[in-house]
Amino acid sequence: RAKAEGRSTWRFFEREMDAELQARRAMEIDLRAALDRGELELFYQPFVDVARQRMSGFEALMRWRHPTKGFVSPAEFIPVAEECGLIHAMGAWALETACGQAAEWPEDLAVSVNLSPVQFKKPGLADDVERALVASGLAPQRLQLEVTESLLLQDSASVIATLNGFRDRGVGISMDDFGTGYSSLGYLNRFPFDKIKIDQSFVRTIEANESRAIIRAVIGLSRALDITVIGEGVETREQRDALVSEGCTEMQGYYFSKPRPANELAQVLIEFERRHEVAGGLEPDRA
């Protein structure tokens, strides 16, 4: 009986696996078509310099406007794209689109583009970046590339060479989601970062002593290494104030603005300035 039960459990498991695999395959086919049909879009979320009371740039966040399912989250489709290799074409598209759109913005605004570690596994990433810069005419100093800690576990000689190439070109490099991966403080001076983004899981719990101690340590270290710290996922005035009191003045989060479509960015900037004038300090975003 136990054997029979085991067998049926296994069958059930097999069916589940099949269903999941098929769903992935289906999404892969859809995603390939999505890129060709122009269903991918970049939304933008500002990062704010609270000390200077200005928006200093926008991070490009990919959106998939699916014809029947509505918006599909990047958390769902990026892993599929990474697995089937589509991430290379999608990544090149994101670089080209983000640089092209940013070239239309006021010149004091930067644009930040997320890179998957998978994009570093194939030669051609540096060419993609170069092509995006040349085609758009965007000053390289206005482009920031975001990588995560998992990248640093890959073949480090080639990763370092690629990152150094970006830096030599004048492009900035941010470490995204800092503190969630295999954080090694040694990474911070072995790789040419100019920004660290403290993961939102720390910001969300900044009231807790442990999170605050970690944030404080990261800020102290970054200052010594001349790296700018950005607090991610700021949702409340309390979180903003706590970061400021720790000496972190660059921030991003729903408190300031959610990611918005490219054609709404002028409005985002206007609203930001208006909230300043009214409040003499920043009120939460109500959009």
Residues that bind ligand C2E (CB under 6 A): 45, 60-62, 73-75, 78, 94, 114-116, 146, 176-177, 200, 233-235, 252-254, 259
Rg (CA), the chain: 21
The CB-of-63 to ligand C2E minimum distance in angstroms stands at: 7
CA dihedral 157, 159, 160, 163 (to 10 degrees): 160
User: Which residue ranges make up the site for Mg ion (CB under 5 A)?
Assistant: 114, 146, 176-177, 232
Pick 30 or 146: Cβ nearer Mg ion: 146
* Minimum gap (Å) between residue 90 Cβ and ligand C2E: 7
Question: Could you give the C-alpha distances from 45 to 50, 79, 255, 262, in angstroms and in order?
Answer: 15, 21, 11, 10
Instruction: Using the Cα atoms of residue 50, residue 55, residue 57 and residue 61 in order, give the sign of their dihedral.
Output: positive
* Nearer to ligand C2E (CB atom), residue 222 or residue 257: 257
Q: Which is nearer to ligand C2E, 200 or 228 (CB)?
A: 200
> Rounded to whole angstroms, how far apart are CA atoms 85 and 116?
11
For residues 248 and 176, give the distance between their C-alpha atoms in angstroms, rounded to a whole number. 16
From the list Mg ion, ligand C2E, none, which binds 73 (C-beta under 5 to 8 Å, kind-based)?
ligand C2E
- State the minimum distance, in angstroms, from the CB of residue 100 to Mg ion: 19
136 in Cβ contact with 96 (< 8 Å): yes
Give the Cα separation of 55 and 178 in Å (integer).
22
Specify the residue, 114 or 211, whose C-beta has the smaller distance to ligand C2E: 114
* Closest distance of CB 153 from ligand C2E, Å: 16
Closest to ligand C2E by CB, 172 or 253: 253
Instruction: Name the residue with tokens 């596994």.
Output: 121
Nearer of residues 36 and 277 to ligand C2E, judged by Cβ: 36
Pick from ligand C2E, Mg ion, none: which does 75 bind, CB < 5 to 8 A by kind?
A: ligand C2E
CB atoms within 10 A of CB 205: 15
Distance of alpha carbon 50 from alpha carbon 53, whole angstroms:
5
Q: Which is nearer to ligand C2E, 101 or 200 (CB)?
A: 200
Could you tell me the smallest distance in angstroms from the CB atom of residue 5 to ligand C2E? 41
Residue 42 CB, shortest distance to ligand C2E, in Å, is: 7
Q: Give the CB-nearest residue to ligand C2E.
A: 253
Question: In whole angstroms, what is the distance from residue 225 CA to residue 188 CA?
Answer: 8
**Binding partner of residue 30 among ligand C2E, Mg ion, none, CB cut-off 5 to 8 Å per kind:** none
Which of the choices ligand C2E, Mg ion, none does residue 78 contact, using the CB cut-off of 5 to 8 A by kind? ligand C2E
Output the six-digit token pair for 149: 């800690």
Query: What CA–CA distance (Å, rounded) separates 169 from 154?
Result: 22
